[in-house]
Amino acid sequence: MNNSPGLYFHIGKKARDLLYKDYGQQPSFHFSYQWIDWNLDLSCQTESVVPGLHTALRFVVPDSGKVELRFLHDYVGITAGSGLKMTSHNHVGLDPAVHFSGVIGTDFVSLGTDIAFDMSTSTFNKFNAGLSFNCPYLVASLTLNDKLDTIKASYYQPLNPLTRSAVAAELKHSFFIDRTTTLTVGGQHALFPSTLIKARMDSNGKVGALVQQGFWQKFFLAISGEFDFKDNDRRRPKIGLSAALAP
């Protein structure tokens, strides 16, 4: 029996993937022309160097990159690493922040934390904590983010594994910075084995949908759109295009 709790980013991942993945969210660098946004995000992971130990690399071209060590074993999951970033003179330098996350528990329930320490200022620029509950019928999580300013509760429920039908919801509340509460709900369904459709809406008036098409069981292309009913200045949808290559 596998008792591994996974890694910290697995906490709430199924709900996040349904509600946000492939919808065209951009990192700090992206190209924008009118209503089209794009970026290039590459990641890879090596096989186990020793049992349970992996090396992961991620590059957001041409803005930044990150190298990370991941250790996954029974009852514990640990990640540690540092980053690369592009300086103002187009030179790559070491990011002064180091990252660490750890999770303890089982595949049923787990508890973890995620921190980042800025060595140049000797301060913590990230401190998160999370709790996850997993069973075949639902996945629920509770996390504290933004240095414990934001609380998120997420819920994911599979409906039909054959058609990948599922629903998810996320409730987010900020205590101090903007003191807002946002509810996001969404669902997904596979029309065909290689064609997945998703839709979501939130309490701020944003509605989004996407169609993802798989090719050759390895390559996936998704077209997404989002419309903000409360944005009086830009009454037009945002269109996004994303591609992924499965290992």
Contact status, residue 67 vs residue 4, Cβ threshold 8 Å: no
Domain ranges, ordered by start, for the chain: 8-187
The fold for domain 8-187 equals Porin (2.40.160)
Instruction: Quote the distance between the C-alpha of residue 22 and its chain's center.
Output: 10
The overall average pLDDT reported for the chain is 81
| Residue-wise pLDDT tens digits, 76-98 | 999 988 866 555 444 545 556 78
List Cα–Cα distances, 42 to 8, 79, 192, 214, in angstroms: 20, 19, 27, 18
Give yes or no for residue 231 having a pLDDT over 80: no
Contact status, residue 25 vs residue 38, Cβ threshold 8 Å: no
The whole-number pLDDT of residue 41 equals 59
| Residue-wise pLDDT tens digits, 6-60 | 899 899 999 999 999 888 654 333 444 444 445 555 666 666 666 777 777 666 5
The tokens describing 151, both together, are: 């609380």
Per-residue pLDDT band for 217 (boundaries 50, 70, 90) equals confident
| Residue-wise pLDDT tens digits, 45-64 | 666 666 777 777 666 555 56
Q: What are phi and psi of 228, to 5 degrees?
A: -105, 110
One-character DSSP codes across 222-234: EEEEEEETT-SS-
The whole-number pLDDT of residue 198 equals 96
- pLDDT > 90 in the chain, percent: 41
| Residue-wise pLDDT tens digits, 97-155 | 788 999 999 989 999 999 988 777 778 888 999 999 999 899 999 999 988 889 999 99
